[in-house]
Structure 1
């Protein structure tokens, strides 16, 4: 790949990464091409050298956001499914994750937006869900069983919902209570539920 093509690819990746962050912060409709390109230090005209449409950018940004954590772990040589449940839950249901939605889970930030999106975004989100559920299933005792898969789906849904609701709450103590309550419940789930 020539130098100009490499530069174009790096610029493209930078735009997508920035868009993925902004989408998680502002929603799929909250990001404008002009503002995004200005933030990237580029012109609006330059946008069309990288994308045929805003919809194409949104689909790439959603794909980046949905897979960013998994990709980051794999780049560090870590299989995401090998992260123990307790450590995964502690990280996911943390105040840091709650407070930095632009860097966090796309599902907790964009569930409703993705559900209202077109086929391309929904297909990307669906594939990401499948991978997330597979990784969560691997964290369960006897991961090859139907019960492990069910618990993985329940745990994933509880965690995503809890993170979103903790972000909604404008009372810090209440927000922490949501995170801590679901954190403990999910950690106990593989052993049959709460103690």
Structure 2
């Protein structure tokens, strides 16, 4: 997908949020930030997801991780919806800001556009996307790494980048690996002669 991806620097956009106007780099500062988008306010799944983020927000803050939500609804819609989120969460406060993007410009620059879904007017909608951004304002590999690992039952080695080989877990025997990865795999030649470090490529 074109646009912002792993290894890219988040653009220093000025955004209007439920916590006021600020630039993304100023908000991120020297912390880790989880930037997540949702398709729309007052929708069932999004309400449960943002309520869960509200419930866990303090745990993120303890780890110096900031949260920043985003959708294409306007600021007033966000403010009204927050009341529902907090009621559903049992009173947990939505302590993190939510970006308003009614012109749908920010979701394009942050690569958070759903490739298929559109609203009733045919306008693009945000996908359920999550960027984990480091203090250097660069998107890290964590999410894609997790997705790849979950889909293919593999692990990602240190410094893994998209399209790099992945690791076959030791719990998978060679016979199982041949069935699971018909494209083949390579075993690292190690002094111990152990066959535990096996690499394969997956889509």
Both structures adopt the same fold (TM-score exceeding 0.5): no
With the shorter chain as reference, the TM-score category is under 0.3
More strand by share: 2
- TM-score (norm. length: structure 1): 0.24
Structure index of larger Rg: 2
